Structure 1
Amino acid sequence: MTIKKINKIKGFGIFKDFRFATSIQEFKKYNLLYGWNYSGKTTLSRVFRSFETQEEHPDYAGAEFELEDDNRNKYKHSNLTMLPNVRVFNQDFIGKNLKWYADGEHIEPIFLLGEENVELQDQLDKKKEEVEKLKAANEALQKEYEQEEEQLRRVESNCAREIKQQLALPDYEVRNLRPILNSLEDTGAKLSDSACKSALSEWRSPGKLESIVSPQLPEIETNTLLEEVKAILAKAVSGKPIEKFKNDSRFEEWAQEGITLHEHEKECQFCGNQITQARRDELSGHFSENYKKLQDQIGVLRKRIEERKAAPNNLTADLHDKARFYQELQSEYETNRKALVEEGKKVIAFLGWLTEQLENKQTKTFEAVYITPPEQIEFEPKAKFDNISAVIDKHNQKTANFEQVKNEAKERLIKHYASDFLERENYKTKQEEIKTKKEKHADQLTQLTTLAGERAKIEAKLSDALKGATKVNDYIKQLFQHDGIRIEVTSENKFMLKRNGFSAGNLSEGEKTAISFAYFITCLEDRNTNLSDTIVFIDDPVSSLDSNHLFNIYAFIKSKLWNCAQLFISTHNLEFFNLLKDWMKDRCRGGVQENERSFYLVKRILKQGDFEATLEPLPDALERFKSEYHYLFSILKKFDDLQDANFDQLFQMPNITRRFLEAYLGFRIPNEPKPLNNLPKLIEDETERNKVDKFLNEYSHNESATRSLVFNDFSECREVVKSVLKAVEAKDKDHYNALCENC
């Protein structure tokens, strides 16, 4: 299958609205296209490359084009997958398949060949960058949490040292502390100041003390005694009281004692008078049996109260000295002992008050007495005593379980210090932060392992892809006709270019193009390409900056591409064009083969104020002659003959005129390196010469596709061209006529 024509190209660069004219010969097996720079040759190759890559050109999205093959099948921009067997060599191919690594302004001799390799290297570079970034982040994270761990270890050591010093534990270390820190959920194990002090006393106890016997609490019966006193005070003796005695208890006591002393006396031992029976009866009326009975009751109750007064003092005397207790219990014991002593004093004072009430009653036996008890009559000697007993029990329990209690105190203290440490250092939060960072660090290591695997796979693919270096070297040798320039695979799976064994830098454009072309030919020979079924398009393989390799590339094309399904070659280099033209003519000479080659001109024209590209049959002057000189003259002559202001190459006339004059003057007067300096020898009239010189200098120095020439008028261009042709005719009539005959 071969492509016969390009039905249309629309909106694709300089091809604004191209149609394949009927005057254009259909494409053959071998197709040669000639065109100056910016004429549209590369754009034409990009149409074909769109089918190769099966992608729109990024600069011309929305472009429309259509190819047609020898079976009238059409291949459109809307379905780029329909024409798979196309291979194109152009600047896009070079850009995709030859990646140079630059160092400043100098090109390093390190590069990659092959689109797949370039893509793989890009992937590898990105993967390396990703690895480096992740590795840096991973190392920074590790450093961060290690510093935090180190800080945490320091404060842990400080805490362990504090416990070691406070509790005098010579072997206590961080390894003993960490399990406790991890077991504590919060700061609940922290002790109050008093509890901490008590626990310290327990732990610091010098040795085991003797058990202590708890004293017995005597019966005091304050409430019972109060009720009994109230009952006696409420009694009143009936009889004949002596008013004197009733009003003065001293006399009553004196008289009562006197009765006892004078029981058997007849005379008063005080005054000596006779004690009459009447007096005795009067005294008996006062000191009756009920009186005596009440006095006896008062006496008995007073005795009981006096006996009870001794009980608190005896209990206080029975209390143990605080020195017998463990140090941590001494303060508690002493506090409760003092409280009990104070309670005993209150009891004694209350009992004394009861005694006073009874003493007062003894003088008021003939009347009922009612009393109001003191405000504070609630006594708690038992409660105070029980507190003391509790301290004694603690003491005895510690004595019975001395080592256990001491160790429990130690454990409480350790947990207290640990709990205080947790709160003070915000330990749990810091631990959790470190844990989170470690987990992230581990995840990053996993990612790095994964990335390393992915990187290894890419490197393996790249390494395999670079195995074609040997064949590329063979072709480079053929292109350069020596083996001074070679490529070697570096340890990083890149190509290094060497010239005579040394690193080769600053390659010429021709050398780079030749290397790219060698790789292109290598690709055409891979196992996935059948050259006899492949359409090949070669765009300008000879750099305008370096034509040293022109003949080698020409020979290479002849030997390697003659058997492809269809060949398109475009060039701006006339020498290269002529070599290919002759080869195609020779190869297709005679018989059926005569129709297997076609020659075309890719031309930029000015149409309705805008540049457009078009494809035309190759002008006869270019096909018949091997010099551009004849072609340039034919254009000038055609323009002069037509006298048409709409001449499609009007905008190029300054350049065409300049190039023609340079060629003519160059071979007619060869002693001047700048041929136009000999213009006065061709055009002697100064006015005419200045007009030509101005025309050339103003309009012929820029061939850029974006330039828009604006002439003062069409007549200026016409007059200049006519002046040049007349001058040549005048100076070289025979030569001029010969040129005209070939137009």
Structure 2
Amino acid sequence: MLKKVQYIKNLGVFDDFNWDREVKNKGGAVQNFVDINIIYGRNYSGKTTLSRIARALETRSLSDKYGAPSFQLKFDNNSEVTLAALSTHNKNIRVFNEDFIRDNLRFITNPDDSIEPFAILGDDNNKIEKEIEVLEVELGSNDEGNETGLFAKKKVAKATYENAFKDHKQLNDSLEKQLSDKATNKDIGIKYKPERYGDQNYTITKLKADITTVSSSDFQQLTSEQVSEHEKLIDEKILPAIPVFSPPKLSFLSLAQQVQVLVTKPISESDKIQALVKDAVLNRWVNEGRSHHRNKHEKCAFCDNEISAERWAELDKHFDEESELLEKSIDALLAKIETENEAVDMALTIDQSFFYSKFHSQLTSLDFRLKAATQDYQLALGNLAKQLKARKSDILNVKDYENPIDCAEALIPVWQEYSDLCAQSKLFSTSLASEQTKAKADLRLKEVADYLVTIDYQKQLNSIEFLQRKRDEAQQSKATIDEDIRKRQARITSKRRELNDEEKGAKKVNEYLNNFFGHKFLTLEAKKDEGQTQDAKRIRFEVIRDGRKAYHLSEGECSLLAFCYFLAKLDDIATKDSKPIIWIDDPISSLDGNHIFFIYTLLNAEVIDKGKFAQLFVSTHNLDFLKYLKRLKGKYVNQAGKEVDYQKQYFVVVRQDKSSTFQVMPTYLSTYVTEFNYLFHQIHKCAAIESVDDTNYIVFYSFANNARKFFEIYLYYKYPDQGMNESTLGKFFGEDSIPAVLTDRINNEYSHLSGVFERGATPIEVPEMQTAARRIIERLKQDSEQFLSLMRSVGEASDDI
């Protein structure tokens, strides 16, 4: 027996329901389920959700549309069933709700469909039993350790598959572990070296993507030199701006032309001292001597001879202005050449510290070419200077001009390439982050490629693929045997169904429809299908009206048929005499008052009177049906052999905003069959009050409304042509007019505020109310049979007259 729904979480409108916290009786004790449980709740309060929990025990599954629900059911032997244990419990339960209807009576949603058949009883058929026997021999025994037939083959195939599965899984798990370690292990994992490999969120999934990349035929692995360059690159920091380089303007051609002019320029030979003209060294020595002697010595400091005026005149004519001007021109040009030499020498010094490492190899090559080109240019300048100096040493004699090679053609491209590298370095500063990211990715791919070689990845992969093929073959072999077993079991089931009589199931439904509801227009018939195979379903139920398949059933007809089908199914082979827990959810949808009563009658006669249940649950939203359910009663024989009454308890499902709870039904709803009974009870209580106090003042305050509504009902049925008025009140009280006038005043003044609004601002203290209540009770006692019936209906002693 189900004691309680211990808790429900995240299931429909039940958000966080706890039985021990919510379901308590008036004394504050936890109220458990009993033999018969009546549940009332308005529409959308959660009754169907409760029935679906019960049906989940029957079908052993719960809809996956609920998200992440949980619940726990507690039974009388302290056993528990949770969502996780649906497939393993041993509870016997049958549930009638909209899911049952949808699963078994599919024609309601699809008129062309049929009703799920069930068999109640069958006749033996020797031929069918022999066919079943042959099939069972082929199947063999499934007793553990003693398997035979197909079950023995299944055991071998299963063992083979499990071994193949184990071998494949073991090797595959080993490879997965190696890959996982490489991805996320703290010691060797790529994840923990983001400064080198660039991904601190690296996972095995990303590693497998990298493996795909490095396994591609067009993947180019980094060389050791490239690895070194990448390592330097990822260590780079943003460098300051490189000093601006402005290459000097070279004047080699101009200088060469000037040298040629000076070297080849002739000096006039008139008035020249031939001895000096022929001896350049002597000529230079004499010229220098002039500067040492003029205006300083009258005699030659070398030979101590007097230098005559005539000699000075000869020397001045020899060393004339033209030769001096040429010498000065040579000195000036030598100075220009020296300036050009220094400008070229200082024009550019390559400092690699200004550049990122990726440019260093280019800079090294460029520096070598720069020095070579600079040296060649300086040598060419030196050649020009050498020719000038030679002419200066022999100023009087023209020299042959030697035209040197112009080396500027080699130097200018070097300067331009340096400027280009400066621009590239500046541009690289803006893309350093992306270049480093790419470099880290390249290093990561190399690391992955190297690791695959280390663990012999391809060999492991080949072994795994081989073991997978063996596993798949074993699985296919096992599946083939399982399918053979399934087909034979299905044929056995089909044959056994032929031993049973589905037509009796349909007749049972028709019996309910005809005997309890007098519904002779609809019948249920068992139809045979001519299947293409032996496994095809041979029986289906169809709804027949006037000899033809019925379509467009009304909602009421669907409700009647569904409930009759459910009760008939309690006698099917799987259920009969098993006394399941029965849960019935709102079986009176779209039915009128008469049919509601018939549903109650059928339930009472076929379930309770026949004792087909171990425990019964009935839920409804209909107050008329609830009124009838209060009449349910019955007896059963207990273990001691004594006949005892079924226990009955009432509950309500209450929805508050978006969440529902389950509670013991309030007395006003469980005790009174109708509001008329309730109103009578309140008048009787008011008449019996000896003194008004805090325990009973509500009866006193409510008397006016209760009395007015009581008379409206009572006098309407007694005088349906008049209802309640002064005349009928007078007739009720007879010759004594005072109670009628008194009651009319109380009914009108104290059940309404209109016209006497100031009364609402003062407490009620009208002794006439109790007087009127007592007069009403005294008058009702005159009809002793009705009065006794009213007293019994509200649980009061019947000897009060």
TM-score under structure 1 normalisation?
A: 0.38
Larger Rg: 1
TM-score under structure 2 normalisation?
A: 0.36
